[in-house]
Chains A and B, each alone.
Chain A
Amino acid sequence: MSLVVRKQSQVGVEPRQSRLSAMLKEMAAYKICYLFIAPYAILFFIFTVVPVVMAILLSFTYFNMLQPPQWVGLHNYVRLFLEDEIFLIAVKNTLIYAAITGPVSYLLCFVTAWLINELKPRARAFLTLLFYAPSISGNAYAIWQIIFSGDTYGIVNGFLMYWGLTDGPIQWLLDPDWIMPIVILVVLWMSMGTGFLVFVAGLQGLDPRLYEAGAIDGVRNRWQELWYLTLPQMRPYLMFGAIMQITSSFTIASEISNLVGFPSTDYAAHTIVQHLQDYGSIRFEMGYASAIAVILFFMMVVTQRVVQKLLNKVGE
């Protein structure tokens, strides 16, 4: 009896075992490859994968870096949504920034790349540099502080008063009504980064014969050409560009702190990342800050997924 059972189980297990051992054998044959990928993979796990899990775990604790973390359940999340009014302002602001700068900068990147693509190579390279430069210029956005400076020496105030459009200087960077529009303007100015380059490159790589064939098949103007020929071909680039733009549109923070101060007047420009920095780097409430990070993480990943689904429909 027992013999039969053992035999059956052996029969059931054998193929799986051999598959496993075959895989192990295959992996052993590629030993050197795993050795190659190991340094990157180990560091990537230590500094990217594990921290996401750790952030989720820490978000359920009280942790101040001195004492060991104390389990507090959902308390941090309850506090965030029910007691922390500033966090709710930050969520609202972050969503506004993301909803405006995300799509607008994405469209600007694509439209500009598309228009530049019609030009001759020299002009194209020059304009690419010109549009891309602000995004890599580090702290160059500080110049907007001088442009929108609240005294009469500010460029905008100076011209408005010179032309008699206002009586006195406007406190652009301190007035809660003006802070957000100005931050959005500055963020847009420096948002044509990797996504823009991806589009420029993707458009250059499209097959010219496609357009010749399209013209013969009755594509009459550049708009039809864009919709029926260019966009479907560009889909892989549109998806990658979207990832880059969405990630950066959710992470606007240091620009705001440097332009309008930290915290801004009435928290008018406060974002989730700033709130995270406040609790993580200033108050050392690591558990609470982790809860903020977790919420930010899910907001970004969910948005990314939804946008990828939408982009999958382009040109279908």
Chain B
Amino acid sequence: MAARFSIRKTRLSRSTGGDIVIMLFLILGAAFMVIPMILIISNAFKPLNEQFLFPPRLFVRNPTLKNFHDLMVMMAQSWVPFGRYLLNSLIIVSLGTLGNVFFGSLAAYVISVRKVPGTKLFMNIVVLSLMFSSEVTRIPNYVTIAFLGWIDSLRAIIIPRWSAPLGLYLVSRFIEGMIDRSLIEAAEIDGAHDFRIYWQIVMPNIKPAWLTMIILSFQELWRTQGGNYIYSEQLKTLPYALSQITQGGVARQGVQAAVTLIMMIVPIVVFLINQSKIVDTMGHSGMAN
């Protein structure tokens, strides 16, 4: 059926000229996107003398692991043990994501399944908050967090993340598109209470949505450096430590290339594994007016 349709589609409304223009556009666009990425990968394996060649080369000629080795040596010499930075990053990423997914999906359940009075208004406010960036609230948030005494503590980064609006929006749209009302009603007749409906019926059925939430949250928190909130060296994150290592000018260019590759590859791999689920979730993200 699908195959037959695609043949028909090409016959009916596709011209060869248009196909060529489209292919050209895609090739040019893809080249623009991918050349810097290739350069990052290839630079990470370039020996120092190849980093400074004239004319420069895109691809590495004598690949070496020396940059990674140098990075390991520097990590081992770090004043705060490097595992500590990694641990801080893992704590931030896991707790921040966990709370965001749990509280967000719980709220989405009330908004999209129960639709109790007031939740529609609340959803509108959440959508409004997608329309401006967190830069607007940066200063009051700093004041609030200082007031709460969370400065120089990982809480300052983890807890505000639990109320990130994008994940709530996506999950709640997904529930509205995917959850069959009769399923909920059947569970109610069987005497299931709200938490059971949420945990055993809604959550298993919206797996793509909360996986997407996990990934969006991960991407956001993975690159957190601690910003204005974290001062103590032993509470700093991995991206911070790595960015410090690369602040060594020309001599560190090889190490910097290795760091860039490591920081880049993690979110890409996480996305790659879950790509189909994310696209599935986004398929329900349209705005009803």
Which A residues contact B (CB, under 8 angstroms)? 23, 26-27, 30, 32-34, 36-37, 39-41, 43-44, 46-52, 54-55, 58, 65, 108, 111-112, 115-116, 118, 125, 127-134, 136-144, 146-147, 152-155, 158-159, 161-162, 189, 192, 194, 197-198, 200-202, 204-205, 208, 211-212, 215, 219-222, 224-225, 235-237, 239-240, 243-244, 246-248, 250-251, 253, 273, 276-277, 280-281, 286, 289-290, 293-294, 296-297, 300-301, 304, 312
Contacts and interface: CB of A to CB of B under 8 A. Distances in A.
A100 B43 CA distance: 31
B82 interface: no
Contact of A162 (B14, B54, B285): B54
B189 interface: no
Contacts, number: 297
Contacts of A294: 136
A57 B130 CA distance: 22
Interface string B98-129: 00000110110111001011110010011111
A41 B103 CA distance: 9
A52 B128 CA distance: 12
Interface stretch (B33-41, B62-70, B86-94, B179-187): B33-41
B260 A202 contact: no
Contact of A293 (B139, B144, B289): B139
A80 to B, nearest CB: 15
B101 to A, nearest CB: 11
B116 to A, nearest CB: 4
A211 B13 CA distance: 10
A72 to B, nearest CB: 16
Contacts of B275: 125, 128-129
Interface of B: 5, 8-9, 12-15, 18, 22, 25-26, 29-30, 32-34, 36-37, 39-40, 43, 51-56, 58, 103-104, 106-107, 109-111, 114, 116-119, 122, 125-133, 135-144, 146, 159-160, 162-163, 165-166, 168, 193-195, 198, 216, 219, 222-223, 228, 239, 243, 253, 256, 260, 263-264, 267-268, 271-272, 275-276, 278-283, 285-289
Contacts of B51: 153
Given A54-B140, A54-B143, A205-B283, A131 B56 contact: no
A158 B52 CA distance: 10
A300 B131 CA distance: 7
A159 B55 CA distance: 6
A181 to B, nearest CB: 15
A156 B181 CA distance: 59
A305 to B, nearest CB: 8
A-B complex: 5 closest residue pairs judged by Cβ atoms: A236-B286, A51-B140, A201-B282, A51-B137, A43-B163
Contacts of B278: 197
B131 A211 contact: no
A32 B194 contact: yes
B33 A131 contact: yes
